[in-house]
Each structure stands twice: as structure tokens, then as C-alpha cells.
């Protein structure tokens, strides 16, 4: 911090820097001894009161004059024999005593200016009484002139210049000499030089005051920022130690930076950090180990973003499931500086879902047996003569039993997340054409135009029954959600070694929230429930299971009021 007390106190209204002031970065670069000295000066002046600062302002002149008297006693003892010279020296001593005795803190803040003005007059008498040999004492005027000038108040600069003039005029008049007959240097040049020194000191001091004020404000802002940072750090520590989600922060190279209490106390998670040595992490199948470069922390540190991915940690029966999310931490210029990974234990949820699926599968199997029997006996009844009058009713019963059996089979497939596939070379263009033809009548009832756009031939090794089920589900959904007509387009293209199929409608569309849940089991949007659109919420989940069973993928894009496109990709047969 800039310090300007070297020649004494600057202003009785100003307080010197206190001992607790922090130093700015520029000062931190100084040599250690310089910083220590500056801190000591700050503490010293911070403990001084108004009287102490007045004494410190007078002390440099008093010490210098004392040295002058000692030198005069050695080299010019005759000067000390002059009564006027001795009186002038005693006047300086009296002024120092006045600085020590007067309670300046109880007086007006401008009262102390009397001391440097009297100093100037006393210096003039000392120089006048000492004769030509002591003309050099005019340089002592620098002390009171600087004392008065280094202030924010401009009138003190004027007072310093007047005091310099008085130091020339008053002693000459009091001792019976003509002020105008003295040396030109003393009469004219000395006030001019002192005036220049006063103005320069005032300007420099003003700049230093402003710089000091700026540094003080920056110190306060820095202290406030530090306090806020500490407060936020404590808040973050409290939050991280309270949540039961494991939080792991790593740097750009994947090295451990921070882990919260949940991460450290969970035995399975604690083993994932480098400090514990032997991590055990598996993919969602619970058996495939995650390679070192596939660990969530490593992936996130590379800049990857992922949400709610399922991992298993631990060994054998002690494995625990975690929903893992990762986000990269980037600087203002976009540079990757690290990542945050969270581990939320979902073992109980996974077990509950597995129990639910087992229950659904068990009940579905139990339902399929009697339904199969019902359908068998229905065929016998329909074929038996004598039931011609109730033939239509029997066909309705059979049709609904077949529909119910299809739902049961879908429940079994969804619950097991696996379907049996019988793969064979299949003409996808013909399969899609047949599916479109089967839904033409239903689409016409809604006023929708059903269009097929395919390349021929399109050959893929698939289970035609299951793929026909997928295409039927998707076209049926497109028709159901196009109640006011529109256009439904079924497209298929070969893209390298892949076969890309899509069903696009211009119907009601889906919200972003609905899209996120579209492939969830039994999910139905609020609109479909409000408008009584039929369905069990199994079409998309079973389609996803079938497509992924073929080694493909399925996706959905939609916008409210603009329609929906569902696309699936299958491996194409070699051309």
C-alpha cells in the first residue's frame, strides 16, 4: 500500500493506515524486509493520536536543527555566542515542547498549522542571526513547507508560500535590516523555489491520496468478496455433507479434487476414488466391468455429459446400483477445467422395479394359459353347427380374446425386456407396404392420408412377425394421434450397412416432458387420457425392446401441434 507519512503526519483529519490493512498484490511482490518495514510503519502510525502525529511532523526539523547546533558548536563556536542565534534555537525547542504539551485533539483541526508557520519564522531568525555562514539553513524550510502542502486542502499550499515569505521579511524587520537589500536568492528565488516545492508536494500527495483511496476500496471489496466466498464455501460444505448423493469433483486430467461425505462413507463408492486402489464398477448388466477409460469421472473430465446412467458397484451379492450423472466444468473461454460426477444409489428402486416386472410376468403367464384355452374352445364352438344365430357375438368374443392375448404377450415381453426372435431374410419394402395397406381403412376414417415412400429392394435379416408388430404399433399411434386428418408418411432407406425407417405424422405432437417418458412402460400423456385415445402405454416400450433385440435403435422427435416422427435403425442385409 502507498504510504506518505515519511516526513510526518499529512493531515490531522486523516487517519494513518491501521495494523490490519491487507496489502495489494503489487506490494506482495516487494522484498520481505521492505514489506515488514512497511507493515511496521503502518502499525506505528496507526497507534499515534493527533498529538503524536503533530510531534512526528515537527520531529524531522527538530532533529536536523539539533545536528546543526552540534556542528556549529564544533566548527563555528562563535555563532553560539550570539544571543539572537541562541534565542532562535530556543524558539525551535519551544515549538517542539508546544507540540508535546498542547492537546491538539481537542482543538480545531486547522490549529496545528500554526506550528509549521512559526517554524518558517524561526528558521528565518536562525538564518538571519547566524550570518552568511548559515544561509544554507534556508533549506530547512522544506520541512514545514512539505508538512503544510501534503494535504487535500489547497489553502494550506497558499499558507506554506506565505510562511516562506514571512521567513524572509519578519526576521529582517525585527532585526532592523532592510528585507529588499538582502540576497536576491533569499529574497526572491527562495519563496519561488519553496512555492514550486509546495505545489509539487501537494499534487503528488493528492495523487497518492487518490491511489491510496483506490487501494483501500479494492482491499474492502476484496475482503467482502473473500467473506462472501467463505460464506458460500461453508454453505456448499453444509449442502454436500447433508445430501445422500455421492459427489465427486475431478480436474481436467481426472485426478481427485473433492469428494463429499456420502462418497467417502459409502464402501462401494469409496473404492472408486484413486486413493482406495481397487475399483469395481460394472455396466447395467452387472457382469461387464467398466474399463478404466470408461469410468464416469474420466468420461466427464474429457468433456462428456451424461445423465442417469445405470452402473453397479461392488462384488457378488453386495453389488449396489447407482444412477450416475456427469457434467464438465468449463472456464469462461470454454476450456475444460474438470468435472462433477454424482452417484445416487437406486438399488432399492431397481429391486422394486424387478419385483414389479416379475409380478407382471408371472401374472401374464398365468393369464396366457386360460386365454389360450378360451380361444381354442371358441374355435370349436364357432365351427360347431347350430350356432349360426349367435355367430356374430362369438366372433366378437374371439376378437377380444385375441386382443387380450396380444396384450398379455406384450406384458410378458416388456417385463422380461427380452423377446424371442426368429431371424430370416425379409423384404422390408414389402413388409412396410403390407402394414400400410392394413391401416388404410383406419386412417381414412380419421381423414388422414397414409403414404409409403420406400426404396426397393430393401433386404434385412429380421424377425418379420416382430418387425410387422413394431411398424403396426407406430402406424397405429400415428393414426390415433391424427384425429383431425393430416398426412402420415412411412419411409425406408438404406444408409450404408443400416436400414433406416421412419413414421412421420402431422398430428397433435408431444411436449418435451412427454417425449422424455415416451418409452417408459405404461406411460400415457395427459392429452391422450383427456381425449380418451385408447391404448395401454405398451406400444413404444415393446417396439423399443424388439428393435434393440435386433441390435438396432429407436428414437422419437416431436413438437406440440406439429406432429411426431419415430425412427428406427436396423442392420441391413449384405447387398
pLDDT of res. 29 = 44
Does residue 391 carry a pLDDT above 50? yes
Read off the pLDDT of residues 143-197 as tens digits, 9 standing for 90 and up. Answer: 999 999 988 888 899 999 999 888 888 887 787 766 555 555 556 788 888 889 9
3-class state of residue 187 by DSSP? helix
pLDDT of res. 115 = 92
pLDDT of res. 209 = 84
On average, the pLDDT of the chain sits at: 80
pLDDT of res. 10 = 35
pLDDT of res. 388 = 74
Kindly indicate the confidence band of residue 25, based on its pLDDT and cuts at 50, 70 and 90: very low
Ramachandran class of 36: left when φ > 0, alpha when ψ lies in -120 to 50, beta otherwise: alpha
Task: Note whether 118 and 95 are within 8 A (CB).
Answer: yes
Read off the pLDDT of residues 496-545 as tens digits, 9 standing for 90 and up. Answer: 888 999 999 888 888 887 777 777 766 556 555 444 455 556 778 888 88
State the cell numbers at 46. 496507526
3-class state of residue 554 by DSSP? strand
DSSP string, 80-130: HT-HHHHHHHHHHHHHHHHHHHS-GGGS-TTGGGHHHHHHHHHHHHHHHHH
The winner for highest mean pLDDT among 23-37, 116-130, 232-246 is 116-130
Nearest residue to 299 (alpha-carbon basis) of 327, 269, 268, 330: 327
Structure pTM?
A: 0.47
Ramachandran angles phi, psi of 404, nearest 5°? -65, -40
* Rounded distance between C-alpha atoms, residue 339 and residue 328, angstroms: 4
* Rounded distance between C-alpha atoms, residue 402 and residue 420, angstroms: 20
pLDDT of res. 5 = 35
Amino acid at each position: 500500500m502507498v504510504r506518505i507519512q515519511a516526513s510526518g503526519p499529512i493531515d490531522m483529519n486523516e487517519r494513518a493506515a491501521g495494523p490490519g490493512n491487507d496489502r495489494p498484490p503489487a506490494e506482495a511482490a516487494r522484498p520481505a524486509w521492505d514489506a515488514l518495514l512497511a507493515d511496521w510503519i503502518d502499525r506505528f502510525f496507526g497507534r499515534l493520536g493527533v498529538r503524536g502525529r503533530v510531534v512526528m511532523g515537527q520531529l524531522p526539523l527538530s532533529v536536523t536543527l539539533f545536528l546543526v547546533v552540534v556542528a556549529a558548536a564544533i566548527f563555528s563556536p562563535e555563532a553560539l555566542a550570539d544571543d539572537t542565534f541562541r534565542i532562535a534555537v530556543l524558539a525551535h525547542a519551544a515549538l517542539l515542547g508546544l507540540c508535546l504539551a498542547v492537546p491538539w485533539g481537542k482543538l480545531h483541526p486547522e490549529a496545528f498549522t500554526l506550528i509549521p508557520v512559526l517554524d518558517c519564522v524561526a528558521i528565518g531568525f536562525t538564518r538571519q542571526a547566524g550570518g552568511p555562514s548559515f544561509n544554507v539553513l534556508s533549506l530547512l524550510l522544506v520541512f514545514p513547507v512539505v508538512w503544510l502542502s501534503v494535504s487535500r486542502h489547497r489553502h494550506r499550499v497558499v499558507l506554506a508560500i506565505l510562511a516562506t515569505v514571512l521567513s524572509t521579511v519578519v526576521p529582517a524587520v525585527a532585526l532592523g535590516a532592510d528585507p529588499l537589500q538582502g540576497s536576491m536568492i533569499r529574497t526572491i528565488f527562495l519563496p519561488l523555489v519553496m512555492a514550486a516545492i509546495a505545489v509539487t508536494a501537494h499534487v503528488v500527495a493528492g495523487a497518492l491520496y487518490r491511489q491510496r483511496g483506490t487501494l483501500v476500496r479494492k482491499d474492502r471489496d476484496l475482503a467482502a468478496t473473500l467473506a462472501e466466498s467463505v460464506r458460500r464455501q461453508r454453505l456448499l460444505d453444509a449442502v454436500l455433507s447433508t445430501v445422500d448423493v455421492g459427489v465427486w469433483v475431478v480436474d481436467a486430467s481426472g485426478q481427485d479434487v473433492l469428494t463429499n461425505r456420502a462418497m467417502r462413507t459409502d464402501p462401494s463408492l469409496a473404492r472408486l476414488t484413486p486413493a482406495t486402489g481397487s475399483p469395481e464398477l460394472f455396466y447395467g448388466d452387472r457382469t461387464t466391468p467398466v474399463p478404466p477409460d470408461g469410468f464416469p469421472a474420466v468420461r466427464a473430465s474429457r468433456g462428456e455429459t451424461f445423465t442417469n446412467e445405470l452402473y453397479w458397484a461392488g462384488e457378488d451379492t453386495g453389488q449396489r446400483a447407482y444412477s450416475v450423472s456427469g457434467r464438465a466444468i468449463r472456464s469462461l473461454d470454454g476450456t475444460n477445467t474438470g468435472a462433477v460426477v454424482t452417484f445416487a444409489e437406486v438399488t432399492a428402486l431397481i429391486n422394486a422395479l424387478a419385483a414389479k416386472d416379475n409380478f407382471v410376468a408371472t401374472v401374464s403367464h398365468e393369464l396366457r394359459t386360460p386365454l389360450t384355452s378360451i380361444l381354442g374352445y371358441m374355435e370349436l364352438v364357432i365351427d360347431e353347427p347350430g350356432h349360426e344365430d349367435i355367430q356374430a357375438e362369438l366372433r366378437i368374443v374371439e376378437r377380444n380374446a385375441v386382443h387380450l392375448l396380444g396384450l398379455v404377450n406384450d406384458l410378458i415381453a416388456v417385463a422380461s425386456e427380452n423377446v424371442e426372435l426368429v431371424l430370416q431374410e425379409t423384404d422390408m419394402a414389402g413388409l412396410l407396404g403390407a402394414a400400410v395397406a392394413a391401416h388404410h381403412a383406419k386412417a381414412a376414417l380419421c381423414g388422414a392420408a397414409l403414404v409409403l415412400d420406400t426404396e426397393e429392394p430393401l433386404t434385412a435379416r429380421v424377425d418379420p412377425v416382430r418387425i410387422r408388430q413394431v411398424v403396426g404399433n407406430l402406424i397405429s399411434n400415428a393414426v390415433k394421434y391424427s384425429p383431425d386428418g393430416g398426412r402420415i408418411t412411412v419411409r425406408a432407406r438404406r444408409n450404408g450397412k443400416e436400414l433406416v425407417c421412419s413414421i412421420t405424422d402431422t398430428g397433435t405432437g408431444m411436449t418435451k416432458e412427454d417425449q422424455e417418458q415416451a418409452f417408459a412402460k405404461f406411460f400415457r400423456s395427459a392429452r391422450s387420457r383427456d381425449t380418451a385415445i385408447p391404448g395401454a402405454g405398451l406400444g413404444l416400450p415393446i417396439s423399443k425392446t424388439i428393435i434393440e433385440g435386433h441390435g438396432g435403435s429407436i428414437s422419437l422427435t416431436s413438437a406440440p401441434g406439429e406432429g411426431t416422427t419415430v425412427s428406427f435403425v436396423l442392420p441391413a442385409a449384405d447387398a
